[in-house]
Amino acid sequence: MASTVIGAGITIDGDLTTDDDVVIQGTVRGKLTAKDGVVVEQGGVVEADIAGGAMSIAGAVTGNVSSTDRVDLQSGAKVVGNVRATRITIADGAQFKGNVDMDV
């Protein structure tokens, strides 16, 4: 499946909805909804609530994160907001401030 890529030089202000995986290298402000996975790469900035499938975050996220699968906070990630997922991993070197709600 193809990925939607928000490149390093791109800023999106508003709601973004995609049926594909989405890779964030630039900046997204507003609301992000992906049917599939979300990857916020190192240097990527999301100032929005995120909803989608499996998520891997290595950049900065300010907003609530809701996953139907798992959320992986990679080393260097900075997340400020609540996380709702079935599973979460927080790597050494990741920063997280918020609450976790794990559906069981």
Domain of 87 in residue numbering reads as: 3-102
Among the listed residues 32, 24, 31, the one whose alpha carbon sits nearest the alpha carbon of residue 3: 24
pLDDT band for 103, please (50, 70, 90 cuts).
confident
Q: In angstroms, rounded to a whole number, what is the distance separating the alpha carbons of residues 61 and 68?
A: 18
How large is the average pLDDT for residues 38-53? 97
pTM of the predicted model over 0.75 = yes
How large is the average pLDDT for residues 27-39? 95
Tell me, what's the pLDDT at 1? 52
Split into its structural domains, the chain has a count of 1
Tell me, what's the pLDDT at 33? 96
